[in-house]
Structure 1
Amino acid sequence: MDTEKKNTVLREGFLVKRGHLVHNWKPRWFVLMPDKLMYYKFEGGRRDSCQRGKILLKDCEITCPFLEHENRPLVFKLRTKKGTDHFLEACSRKERDDWAADITAAVDTLQTDAGGWVTTKQDPAEAELHNINLSKVLDSMYDVHSGISMSSYVEQGITFSNCFSGSAVVDWLVFTQLALARVEALTLASALLEEGFLRTVGLKSLEGLRTAGLSGLFMDDSTALYSFSDSLKKRGCVKAQTSLSAVELSGKVIKRGYLLKQGHRRKNWKVRLFVLRSEPSFLHYYDPTKDDISPVGGFSLRSCLVSSLDDNGVPSGVKGNMQGNLFKIITQSDIHYFIQAATHQDKMDWIDAIKELT
């Protein structure tokens, strides 16, 4: 591989990485090159010049999704040639799958350039179900120790307990190798639903059931909810209860992503996972070192003002040595939020998405 090709940046952005010695999670800026994946730390709103680590890609193995970390469904695993495991978390399923696909392509290219052979995977569209015993699949899903995790979800201000999302079911089926690909897992989940082993919960999954074709009764969607049928009582039935405090988290997710936010008191900059929702319109932010269940902050977008900040100099109210791509949101109660995106395009995409909801 020539020097110019080696120095090509294939992809870059924030991922949350688990430490090797201390198993805590920290956001890092990752840069994918043709032969390695490098990562950096952000300090004071600027990426440091010191490379914190690198992962050599030759003969690496990628597992995506990797679902052994509770409350972290967006993790994929990278195992190096020497057997070292790296656990990386993206901000969304699309980002997770795109990162995994780009890394896999780089690994395959290295293998081909070395004169080796690359195995071709079965096309998911051609995957078929053969001699599947749905009762055994249900038993595996229902297993207390290794079955699918059940949680509480909010839909339109209503809290549903003891259920799971459609995408969580598909992830679990692929992870347990009961299905080889997401398309096959979707077909299997549709069969479980059609046979009455699973049932819809809330309006999203019910509407999907009504409008879907014969091959797509089940929705691979993080907002479509399902549960076991009422005949299964070990884990309890789904109960709905009104939760006024959850109303602001019940909106449709419009956009997710990692952004840097300046603190209100200490004025320090930290990477946060931002989630933009509509109906009702809210912008919440989460600590990516923890989970995306309980936001550390958020505000209604009603009557908010959002604007891009000039990259020349340091705008009033901003502290630190910025890299640029700043924008500001002023809430109805006159609270100012200063936020930094990774790129100019990312900044403009967020501004446009927020403006549509204000």
Structure 2
Amino acid sequence: MDAAQKKTIIREGFLVKRGHLVQNWKARWFVLTPDQLLYYKYDGGRRDSCQRGRIQLEDCEVTCPFLELENRPLVFKLRTKSSVEHFLDACSREKRDAWAADIAAAAEKLRAGDGGKTTHGQADPAESLGLKLVNVNLSQVVDSMYDVHSGIRFTNHVEQGKTYSNCFSGSAVVDWLVFAELALTRVEAVTLASALMEEGFVRPVGLRSVEALRTAGLTQQFVDDSTALYSFAESFKKRGSVKAETSLSAVELSGKVVRRGYLLKQGHKRKNWKVRLFVLRSEPAYLHYYDPSRDDVSPAGGFSLRGCLVSALDDNGVPSGVKGNIQGNLFKIITQADTHYFIQAPTHEEKMGWIDAIREQI
């Protein structure tokens, strides 16, 4: 984001966006400017500087609320000038209405000629490619790729003296997807391979592929080349089977909702950072968290606040127990059972707001 855009930020924060090519939901950091809605991915615990897309607001139409998606009552819809529809899920009705109102106001200013010229830069990947890989089941795709009889062939590669085992090249992936008729063209295959990588099924392992992921634009993250190396992620077979860390009862969910919002939580086993929807309840006092990428209305986990300790963590350096590349605004909750939860808020104000709200319930 350039200096001019930074000066004209109207609103920013987490929303959950439904994909175009694969209609799954992903938490993204959104930044609203007078003429565009930009969105970014959080890489671990830090916002990725690479834009994942932008939505031009010129002649954009906002529908709020949009109540046609089951289990997602907090969605609003944007329809662009080119008739592309974007579905965005907020953490609360207040946030949803505020985002929709600000976006509608920005679009109205553009229609009135007060918003300045629209900057035509990188478009949304679905808009720019015009692809129709809709409702693709990525789990089935990767299972087919992994099939011992008809799947992709594993090879060993040596790159600058280092050996990479059980991997495959980017061009081999594209060849296989086209041969298996999962994509009609190499361009579509690259897009599908990028979705597999985005979801963590496939990971870059060689210098060329890692560098491409770090520096490439929206549509060049997966490299169709024999020198770009990839492999399956070790954990891909476990995806979709996440279980709640604690058993939940109806009593836990019966309290009054005091606060809700998107925060980043560090996992207990893999120590990776994920965006979660946190909901704080009182009488009884519980803190639950949900996976916003799923339509499941059940929490992914939660715990009683009785006997808990909550404290802010210093942003100078990486505190003990915290892993990964973090943004800051950390706080820690220690439960009565001595389980440590490391949580990261997007801003200092939100961190202190959550700490104060939790302390009131302890």
Contact 1:7-1:34 within 8 A present in 2 as well = no
> Matched residues in 2 for 1:292 and 1:276: separation?
18
The 3-state SS of whatever aligns with 1:87 is strand
CA–CA distance in structure 2, aligned partners of residues 108 and 7 of structure 1? 20
Over 3 Å counting, the alpha-carbon distance change for 1:5 and 1:308 in structure 2 is: closer
Determine whether 1:299 maps to 2:280: no
Task: Name the SS of the counterpart of 2:96 in structure 1.
Answer: helix
Task: For 1:90 and 1:324, locate their aligned partners in 2 and report how far apart those are by CA, in whole Å.
Answer: 23
Q: How many residues of Structure 1 are paired with residues of Structure 2 in the alignment?
A: 229
Shift of 1:114: 5.5
In the superposition, relative to structure 1, how do residues 114 and 9 fare at CA in structure 2: closer, same or farther (>3 Å)?
closer
| 1:56 alignment counterpart | 56
Tell me if 1:264 matches 2:268: yes
Runs of 4+ displaced beyond 6 Å? none
Structure 1 pair 253–6 and aligned structure 2 pair: CA distance change class (3 A): closer
1:264 is displaced (CA, Å) by: 0.1
State the 1:7 CA deviation: 4.7
Q: CA deviation at 1:109?
A: 1.2
Provide the secondary structure at the position in 2 that maps to 1:256.
Answer: strand
Q: Secondary structure at the match of 1:249?
A: coil
Q: In the alignment, does 2:38 pair up with 1:38? A: yes
TM-score under structure 1 normalisation? 0.62
The range that moved more, 104-113 or 342-351, is 104-113
Same amino acid, percent of matched pairs: 76
3-state SS of 1:109 partner = helix
Match of 1:337 in 2: 341
Distance 1:72 1:310, change over 3 A: same
| 1:12 match: secondary structure | strand
Matches within 5 A, 1:1-358: 4=4, 7-113=7-113, 245-291=249-295, 293-358=297-362
Per the TM alignment, residue 323 of structure 1 is displaced from its structure 2 partner at its CA by 0.6
Shift of 1:108: 1.1
Cα 1:114–1:309 shift into 2, 3 Å: closer
Deviation track 1:309-357 (CA, whole Å, cap 9, x = no partner) reads 0000000000011110000000000000000000000000000000000
8 Å Cα contact 1:60-1:79 kept in structure 2: yes
- In structure 1, the residue matched to 2:151 is none
**TM value normalised by structure 2:** 0.61
Indicate how the Cα distance of structure 1 residues 5 and 265 shifts in structure 2: closer, same or farther if over 3 A, else same. Answer: closer
Shift of 1:11: 0.4
Q: Helix, strand or coil for the counterpart of 1:40?
A: strand
1:291 CA displacement: 3.3
Write the deviation string for residues 41-86 of structure 1: whole angstroms up to 9, x where unpaired: 0011000010000000011000000011110000000000010000
Letter matched to residue 88 of structure 1: L
Counterpart AA for 1:293:
V
